Amino acid sequence: MADSETGQIDNVMQEDRLFPPSEQFCQNAAIGSMDDYQALYDAAKNDPDKFWGETAREELHWFEPFDTVCNHDGSHVEWFVGGKTNISYNCLDANIAAGNGDRLAIIWEGEPGDTRTLTYKQLLTEVCKFSNVLTGQGVGVGDVVSIYMPMTPELAIAMLACTRIGAIHSVIFAGFSAEAIADRNNDASAKVQITSDGLFRRGKTLPLKDTVNAALEKSPTVECCIVLQRAKNDCAMQAGRDYWWHELMEDASADCPALPLDSEATSFILYTSGSTGKPKGIRHTTAGYNLWTKKTFQWVFDWKPEDIYWCTADCGWITGHSYIVYGPMSNGATCLMYEGAPNHPAPDRFWDVVQRHKVTILYTAPTAIRAFVKWGDEHIDKHDISSLRLLGTVGEGINPDTWIWYHEKIGGEKCPIVDTWWQTETGGIMMSPLPGATATKPGSCTLPLPGVVPVIVDEGLHPVETNHGGMLCMAQPWPGMLRGIWGDEKRFQEQYWSTFPGNYLTGDNARVDDDGYYWIMGRIDDVINVSGHRLSTIEVESALVSHDKVAECAAVGRPHDLKGQAICVFVTVKDAQAGEALRDELRLHVRKEIGALAVPDDIRFTDGLPKTRSGKIMRRLLRDIAAGRQAAGDVSTLEDFSVLAKLSEDQE
Ligand code: WT7
């Protein structure tokens, strides 16, 4: 049967480069060979109860032991049933008990250049005090605390204080509008709001408290607002509702034992963008989430106590929850936290930070890497970044040529790259190389972690053949998985469980190659169907990005009378002259790289692409523009409206 009939996706990209880890890296790694990986993977697959039961007993502190490792029935999943633990305890008290209380937990750098450090002991003191502040405001187990803050240590302190007392945090990225905050507060019935007076971004002060004031007018459930003084800008405080963080902390006791919480107690909700306007609060729980972030951090980053680990995400996203706060800290890692923009005061800020703090592990996003490529190598050449030993990426697929640049220019050809595939819903990393074991291929997230059992099916729910793409699903539960959508069981069922009953639907397409490596092919909704050939966005885009004049590219389909869909690509160029000659060059280039089938019908040059605030290209909006429609649907997650306005104007 043809791919067009089964709904499989054609694989048109061929990537043969292979990068095995160096012998030296393997020797020092906790998992130093493919045999070690395979043994772990098999143990988790063959007897999950034994594997996860033992791992949970080893890794987490149990106030009360669990009696059942896992109960599952379709979408209804529980892990470590009957047990009681506490995430904040596992991140703080446990490290101190192990003798690591004087190790740095956080090395923080503000955008203006101010720095602060906190040891695990110091962090515990702050967290205990703030836990008592929250309790003093009437916050108890199961209450929702809304957090809208800059990337300061207090953001992590607020999160850890919530999980310490069983309150549920809902962190909202500090770039969202008042409207978006109010929507989320109302959906969650948030009781307390935490924010700051302002935040520094590219040298300017953004008045966060003003935004929150507007949001709170429409958030009737919020009873009080705690305000961190960060930027010292003027802001309106409402008597009886608003309190300064530092004033409440003055009188707070530093004694607050962690509360034993049920394994399945909700730890946090995190809103993620859906295609409709209604916010979707992904709900995570306690023990399984904690264990998943702790183990995956060890496996994927091959973490050592002397590492200075830097994840450049914001705590407003799941990456910040799992790989700035909970995963690293439950291992006792030293985390660098940076408040500001990568290009302030100059495009070399990241490399300046790496050099000064001797960062050893860097975890960032493809959108940032593409920006570094565009800004030019001279910003890297100014700095000694040889402390780096491992690099990671997350958030989108990485085009192979961008991967090669990262490997050569940032990794000095010696650092393994872990391309980590996962989602807000999965709680932690699902597929990734293990840096001391897996030979990497640029653009592939390689292999599933222990406990992850992927299955790829076509539209008829039949497993696809090797090198054909289909819908990526998970056949088995894993400890870190979401437990629901806050207040919307129906949407939870429909979105993740109804397409392929009994399996979790990721919403991504993927293929497996001859070596069993996974290649993510983009979102299911983004597939381009040209004359019955179903093409993946990332493959077309990667072909264009491999041209040396292209900085970034997004491919979408638009309606076409004969072919069904035509390919329309939006391209930003490095510094070349965009024009008809370059269009011809790019068409020829794609023809050579992947063939006539994928040659774009329209090539549109643009200064920027519409992205979410977390840096993902919003192809949905580009589809509207390519079809000559007004870009519609939810645009509240759009980072820069002017990009969209410009693109829409260009077509008039
Ligand atoms: C979606 C999840 C994972 C934390 C940050 C984003 C895409 C993520 C990769 C990767 C290709 C990736 C997928 C996924 N994605 N990582 N390494 N390769 N695609 O979390 O906002 O929930 O987004 O991001 O499409 O489904 P999120």
pLDDT tens readout for residues 488-519 = 999 999 999 999 999 999 999 999 999 999 99
Average pLDDT over residues 433-444: 98
Position in ligand 1 atom list of the atom nearest CA 614: 21
Average pLDDT over residues 309-321: 97
Separation of CA 425 and ligand 1 centre (Å): 10
The pLDDT-based confidence of 651 (bands split at 50, 70, 90) is: low
Give Cβ neighbours of residue 443 (< 8 Å, ≥ 6 apart): 13, 15, 397, 398, 399, 400, 403, 419, 519, 538, 542
Q: Is the pLDDT reported for residue 649 higher than 80?
A: no
| Residue of 323, 364, 422 to test ligand 1 pocket, by largest number of atoms within 8 Å of CB | 422
Question: By CB neighbour count within 10 A (0-12 exposed, 13-18 middle, 19+ buried), where does 62 fall?
Answer: middle
Report helix, strand or coil for 275. coil
Tokens read off for 601: 């019908």
Position in ligand 1 atom list of the atom nearest CA 317: 5
Position in ligand 1 atom list of the atom nearest CA 393: 17
Tokens read off for 68: 């059942």
Separation of CA 395 and ligand 1 centre (Å): 4
Instruction: State the Cα–Cα distance between residues 329 and 95, nearest whole angstrom.
Output: 8
The pLDDT-based confidence of 154 (bands split at 50, 70, 90) is: very high
Average pLDDT over residues 287-300: 98
The pLDDT-based confidence of 143 (bands split at 50, 70, 90) is: very high
Q: Identify the pLDDT of residue 614.
A: 86
Q: Is the pLDDT reported for residue 523 higher than 90?
A: yes
> 505 forms bridges with which residues in the sheet?
473
Separation of CA 518 and ligand 1 centre (Å): 14
Look at 64-73, 571-580, 618-627 and tell me which has the smallest mean pLDDT: 571-580
The residue whose two tokens read 């004694």 is 255
Average pLDDT over residues 341-361: 97
Q: Is the pLDDT reported for residue 2 higher than 60?
A: no
Position in ligand 1 atom list of the atom nearest CA 429: 3
Name the residue with the closest Cα to ligand 1, atom 6: 395
Ligand 1 site, CB within 6 A: 272, 317-319, 394-397, 419-424, 445, 506-508, 520, 523, 614
pTM: 0.96
Average pLDDT over residues 113-120: 97
Going along the chain from its start, the domains and CATH numbers come out as: 23-508 (3.40.50.12780), 525-651 (3.30.300.30)
Name the residue with the closest Cα to ligand 1, atom 7: 396
Q: Is the pLDDT reported for residue 134 higher than 90?
A: yes
Phi first, then psi: give them for residue 304, nearest 5 degrees. Answer: -125, 150
Q: Which run of H or E residues covers position 93?
A: helix 93-97
- With vertex at residue 320, the alpha carbon angle to CA 318 and CA 321, rounded to the nearest 5 degrees, is 65
Separation of CA 476 and ligand 1 centre (Å): 19
Q: Is the pLDDT reported for residue 652 higher than 80?
A: no
Name the residue with the closest Cα to ligand 1, atom 8: 395
The pLDDT-based confidence of 277 (bands split at 50, 70, 90) is: low
Instruction: State the Cα–Cα distance between residues 209 and 197, nearest whole angstrom.
Output: 5
Nearest to 524 by CA among 506, 544, 502, 543: 506
Average pLDDT over residues 190-218: 97
Name the residue with the closest Cα to ligand 1, atom 20: 423
Looking at per-residue pLDDT, the higher value among 308 and 634 belongs to 308
Looking at per-residue pLDDT, the higher value among 538 and 6 belongs to 538
Average pLDDT over residues 563-590: 92
Average pLDDT over residues 65-70: 98
Separation of CA 491 and ligand 1 centre (Å): 20
The answer to whether 562 touches 33, Cβ cutoff 8 Å, is: no
Q: Identify the pLDDT of residue 636.
A: 75
Position in ligand 1 atom list of the atom nearest CA 273: 21
Q: Is the pLDDT reported for residue 650 higher than 90?
A: no
Strands (E), 64-176: 68-73, 76-81, 84-85, 104-109, 115-119, 144-147, 168-171
Name the residue with the closest Cα to ligand 1, atom 10: 421
Separation of CA 420 and ligand 1 centre (Å): 8
Tokens read off for 385: 């970044």
Instruction: State the Cα–Cα distance between residues 413 and 22, nearest whole angstrom.
Output: 10
Q: Identify the pLDDT of residue 274.
A: 63
Q: Is the pLDDT reported for residue 64 higher than 70?
A: yes
Looking at per-residue pLDDT, the higher value among 632 and 528 belongs to 528
* CA distance readout (Å), 408 to 110, 367, 374, 379, 412: 29, 17, 15, 15, 5
The pLDDT-based confidence of 574 (bands split at 50, 70, 90) is: confident
Average pLDDT over residues 258-280: 89
Nearest to 574 by CA among 537, 540, 602, 607: 607
SS3 content of the chain, % helix, strand, coil (to 5): 35, 25, 40
pLDDT per position as a tens digit, 29-42: 999 999 999 999 99
The pLDDT-based confidence of 276 (bands split at 50, 70, 90) is: low
Position in ligand 1 atom list of the atom nearest CA 398: 18
Average pLDDT over residues 569-577: 88
Average pLDDT over residues 65-81: 96
Q: What percent of the chain is predicted at pLDDT more than 70?
A: 98
- With vertex at residue 177, the alpha carbon angle to CA 172 and CA 182, rounded to the nearest 5 degrees, is 70
Phi first, then psi: give them for residue 260, nearest 5 degrees. Answer: -65, 125
Q: Which run of H or E residues covers position 417?
A: strand 417-419
Average pLDDT over residues 356-384: 96
Phi first, then psi: give them for residue 224, nearest 5 degrees. Answer: -150, 160
Separation of CA 563 and ligand 1 centre (Å): 30
* CA distance readout (Å), 314 to 86, 178, 259, 417, 556: 23, 19, 27, 21, 28
Looking at per-residue pLDDT, the higher value among 357 and 629 belongs to 357
pLDDT per position as a tens digit, 534-565: 999 999 999 999 999 999 999 999 999 988 99
Query: Mean pLDDT, the chain, as a whole number?
Result: 95
Q: Is the pLDDT reported for residue 337 higher than 70?
A: yes
